[in-house]
A = this chain, B = another copy of it.
Amino acid sequence: MPTFSQRLDAAAERNRSLLCVGLDPWRPSMPIADIAAFNRAIIEATSDLVCAYKPQWAFYESEGIAGLRALEATIEAVPNGVPVILDAKRGDLGNTSVAYAKAAFEIWGADAVTVNPYLGRDSLQPFLDYADKGVFVLTRTSNPGGADFQELAVRSADGEERPLYEEVARQAVSWNERGNVGLVAGATAPEELARVRAAAGAMPILIPGIGAQGGDLESAARNGADANGRRAIITASRSVLYASSGPDFAEAARAEAARLRGAINAELERMGKQWQ
A residues with a Cβ closer than 8 A to B are 24, 26, 56, 58-59, 61-65, 68-69, 72, 89-97, 99-100, 102-103, 107, 116-123, 138, 141-150, 152-156, 161, 164, 167-168, 171, 213
Taking a contact as CB atoms closer than 8 A, the residue among B59, B119, B143 that contacts A99 in the complex is B59
Chain B residue with the shortest CB-CB distance to A118: B118
How many Å from the CB of A201 to the closest CB on chain B? 21
| Number of this chain's copies in the complex | 2
Instruction: List, in ascending order, chain B residues with CB within 8 A of A94's CB.
Output: 143, 213
Q: Given the complex of chains A and B, what is the CA–CA distance between A65 and B68 in angstroms?
A: 7
Assess A148 versus B171: contact at CB under 8 Å? Given A65-B68, A96-B58, A118-B118: yes
Cross-chain contact B118 with A117 (CB below 8 angstroms): yes
How many Å from the CB of A109 to the closest CB on chain B? 11
How many Å from the CB of A53 to the closest CB on chain B? 16
8 additional A-B pairs beyond A62-B99, A62-B102, beta carbons within 8 Å, are A58-B90, A58-B92, A61-B100, A118-B149, A120-B143, A120-B146, A149-B167, A154-B164
Taking a contact as CB atoms closer than 8 A, the residue among B56, B61, B90 that contacts A103 in the complex is B61
How many Å from the CB of A139 to the closest CB on chain B? 10
Instruction: List, in ascending order, chain B residues with CB within 8 A of A118's CB.
Output: 91, 116-118, 138, 141, 149-150
Cross-chain contact A59 with B149 (CB below 8 angstroms): no
Q: Given the complex of chains A and B, what is the CA–CA distance between A154 and B153 in angstroms?
A: 6
User: Which of A117, A119, A144 is the most central at the interface, judged by chain B CB atoms within 10 Å of its CB?
Assistant: A119
Instruction: List, in ascending order, chain B residues with CB within 8 A of A142's CB.
Output: 93
Instruction: List, in ascending order, chain B residues with CB within 8 A of A152's CB.
Output: 154-156, 164, 167
Cross-chain contact B123 with A145 (CB below 8 angstroms): yes
How many Å from the CB of A172 to the closest CB on chain B? 10
Q: Given the complex of chains A and B, what is the CA–CA distance between A156 and B148 in angstroms?
A: 10
Assess A100 versus B143: contact at CB under 8 Å? Given A65-B65, A152-B167: no
Assess A56 versus B107: contact at CB under 8 Å? Given A116-B116, A150-B120, A171-B148: no
User: Which of A61, A117, A146, A161 is the most central at the interface, judged by chain B CB atoms within 10 Å of its CB?
Assistant: A61
